[in-house]
């Protein structure tokens, strides 16, 4: 009996002992859980909160609105308009496969294409179906309420004037960054600075809540250009018509305000529409006025006459003997179409005498010729800042032979851009002050510029150039009511091994009004092939038409009243 009691007591003790162990284990476990909770909720709370946030909270970019580009009067010529990108989560959209035909219709895409695109990317969480849709198009897609279809707001560059301003403005890329022209040159000013915001995303990467702003977006600044859209349109219209009428390969024209150095118009052909990305081909979008070089032919002769006047060896009424109508220099013979005999400088320019120019150039020190040409900006890029602008070719005078000097005197052996040539004529029009060219509007006082030519020599040279338009090769450049000074140029095009005898560059450069110059303009026509190819026949009429409109638009008073006593001047109407 005692044995059974002892066994019962021993069993009870063991049971209590096991109970104590179990209780102890539970207490230890509970303590561990409490300790862990305290550690997680109190001691390590910040770390865990940050880790949790990293799994659903993101830093997102806020796109900055790109600045607009305006013409000098504030007319928009490049603006950013809102567009939408349509993107989908393929797996979600596939669940509504019966709605794919409707979506395909709104996207204006083939139904089979859309089906293949969605079903072959089921493992993707982000698939773009269309970019840069207009807001009304995007709204129609949003109204379908299809699962897995989302819109993302972006901006697209729009150019209201299309190809009229295409070469000047350039274009932006798919990320709205400048690629060519002013869009590229002023990228830092136009693009602004993107902002940052903290957002909450779901597991598919979709934004479900904007938490707070870290840094607001800074919109790009507007750019007010020197371009006058009315004059730009006139130059574009006349140049395009000439390219068509004379069946030319290409052409360019530049208009400069001689008082400020502002480029009022710069156009080229073939042109391109920056709104149509299918036209983004370098042969169409490069700005030939700034990038292409040419041998200027006789349009550079005035600057050799200027060198002669500056040297003191020639005066405005100096006479040169061109008998017998040709001149031999080294192993080369330079000749005129006729033997003009005794000629003054005005007649040499009016008749565009190669022999007369050779006599003038060979009588000068080579250094004085080089200093004159360099002073007018030849062989240098202008200060316009236009991307890709060429400096042309003007070798140092130390390497010139007599043949080279005579050759350069009638426009060969040196190369210029239309923009450079226009700056040279603008410098002459500014009475010898070379101002930096600019594509930004000049507000307030005009740049002082550098004096590169005596003012009286400039006046004498302008007066000599009037003879070219009055009774020389440039009569078709005349503008009714205004005195015009300018020079024609007709040059053979260089080809491998020499020069072509049936491919020409037709040029005219001029200043108006001659008595008080306001505008300088250069026109270049590349390979006219309709039968006419001289600068006086092909390029000069463009100068006349554009300047006639520009002078009236800018209300420049006539300075040749003998031809306008009964004329009525009205402002030219130009579409804006």
Active site members: 298
**DSSP state letters, 342-391:** EEEHHHHHHHT-HHHHHHHHHTS-HHHHHHHHHHTTTTS--TT--TT---
Show Cβ contacts of residue 2 under 8 Å, excluding neighbours closer than 6 positions: none
Between CA 489 and CA 478 the distance in angstroms is 16
296 three-class SS:
coil
Whether the CB-CB separation of 421 and 266 falls below 8 Å is answered with no
Q: Which residues of 300-313 are buried (b: 16+ CB within 10 A; e: fewer)?
A: bbbbbbbbbbbbee
Between CA 98 and CA 408 the distance in angstroms is 76
Distance of CA 463 to the CA centre of its chain: 36
Distance of CA 379 to the CA centre of its chain: 22
Whether the CB-CB separation of 108 and 133 falls below 8 Å is answered with no
Cis peptide before 513 (omega within 30 of 0): yes
Question: Pairing between strand 223-224 and 69-70?
Answer: parallel
**DSSP state letters, 388-430:** T----B---GGG--HHHHHHHHTT-S-BB-HHHHHHHHHHHHT
Burial of 470 (0-12, 13-18, 19+ CB in 10 A): middle
Burial of 239 (0-12, 13-18, 19+ CB in 10 A): buried
Whether the CB-CB separation of 475 and 536 falls below 8 Å is answered with yes
Q: Which of 138, 256, 200 is nearest to 550 (CA)?
A: 256
Whether the CB-CB separation of 396 and 370 falls below 8 Å is answered with yes
Q: Which of 551, 246, 318, 294 is nearest to 417 (CA)?
A: 294
Between CA 236 and CA 80 the distance in angstroms is 24
Between the CA of residue 491 and those of 125, 294, 359, 477, 541, what are the distances in Å? 63, 9, 20, 18, 18
Whether the CB-CB separation of 436 and 382 falls below 8 Å is answered with yes
CA angle 47/48/53 to nearest 5° reads 100
| First CA to last CA distance, the chain | 123
Distance of CA 485 to the CA centre of its chain: 30
- Residue 542 has phi, psi (to 5 degrees) of -65, -45
Query: DSSP code of 279?
Result: G
DSSP helix, strand, coil percent of the chain (3-state; round to 5): 40, 25, 35
Upper half-sphere CA count for residue 159 (Cβ side, 13 Å): 21
């Amino acid at each position: 009996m005692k044995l059974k009691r002892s066994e019962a007591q021993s069993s009870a003790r063991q049971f209590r002992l096991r109970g104590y162990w179990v209780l102890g284990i539970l207490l230890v476990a509970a303590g561990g859980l409490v300790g862990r909770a305290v550690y997680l909720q109190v001691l390590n709370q910040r770390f865990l909160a940050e880790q949790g946030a990293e799994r659903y909270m993101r830093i997102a970019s806020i796109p900055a609105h790109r600045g607009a580009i305006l013409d000098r009067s504030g007319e928009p010529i490049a603006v950013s308009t809102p567009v939408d990108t349509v993107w989908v989560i393929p797996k979600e959209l596939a669940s509504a496969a019966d709605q794919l035909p409707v979506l395909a219709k709104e996207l204006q895409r083939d139904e089979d294409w859309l089906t293949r695109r969605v079903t072959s990317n089921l493992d993707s969480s982000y698939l773009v179906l269309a970019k840069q849709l207009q807001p009304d198009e995007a709204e129609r897609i949003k109204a379908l309420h299809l699962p897995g279809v989302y819109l993302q707001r972006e901006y697209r560059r729009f150019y209201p004037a299309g190809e009229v301003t295409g070469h000047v403005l350039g274009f932006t890329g798919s990320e709205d960054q400048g690629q060519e022209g002013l869009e590229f040159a002023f990228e830092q000013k136009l693009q602004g600075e993107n902002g940052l915001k903290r957002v909450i995303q779901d597991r598919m990467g979709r934004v479900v809540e904007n938490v707070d702003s870290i840094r607001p977006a800074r919109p790009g600044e507007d750019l007010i250009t020197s371009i006058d859209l009315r004059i730009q349109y006139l130059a574009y219209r006349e140049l395009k018509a000439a390219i068509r009428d004379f069946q030319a390969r290409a052409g360019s024209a530049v208009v400069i305000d001689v008082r400020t150095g502002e480029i009022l118009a710069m156009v080229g052909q073939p042109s391109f529409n920056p709104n149509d990305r299918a036209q983004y081909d370098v042969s169409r979008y490069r700005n030939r006025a700034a990038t292409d070089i040419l041998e200027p032919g006789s349009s550079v002769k005035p600057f050799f006459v200027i060198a002669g006047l500056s040297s003191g060896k020639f005066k405005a009424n100096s006479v040169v003997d061109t008998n017998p109508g040709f001149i031999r220099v080294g192993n080369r013979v330079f000749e005129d179409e006729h033997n003009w005999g005794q000629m003054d400088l005005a007649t040499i320019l009016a008749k565009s005498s190669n022999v007369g120019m050779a006599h003038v150039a060979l009588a000068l020190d080579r250094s004085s010729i080089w200093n004159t040409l360099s002073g007018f900006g030849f062989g240098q890029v202008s200060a316009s800042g236009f991307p890709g602008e060429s400096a042309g070719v003007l070798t140092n005078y130390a390497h010139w032979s007599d043949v080279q000097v005579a050759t350069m005197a009638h426009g060969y052996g040196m190369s210029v851009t239309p923009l450079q040539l226009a700056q040279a004529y603008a410098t002459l029009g500014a009475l010898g002050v070379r101002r930096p060219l600019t594509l930004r509007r000049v507000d307030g006082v005009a740049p002082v510029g550098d004096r590169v030519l005596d003012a009286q020599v400039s006046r004498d040279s302008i007066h000599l150039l009037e003879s070219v338009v009055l009774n020389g090769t440039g009569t078709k450049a005349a503008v009714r009511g205004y005195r015009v000074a300018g020079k024609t140029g007709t040059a053979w095009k260089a080809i491998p091994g020499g020069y072509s005898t049936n491919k020409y560059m037709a040029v005219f450069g001029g200043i108006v009004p001659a008595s008080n110059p306001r505008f300088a303009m250069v026109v270049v026509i590349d390979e006219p092939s309709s039968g006419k190819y001289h600068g006086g026949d092909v390029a000069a009429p463009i100068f006349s038409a554009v300047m006639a409109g520009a002078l009236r638009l800018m209300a420049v008073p006539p300075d040749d009243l003998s031809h306008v006593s009964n004329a009525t001047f009205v402002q030219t109407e130009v579409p804006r």
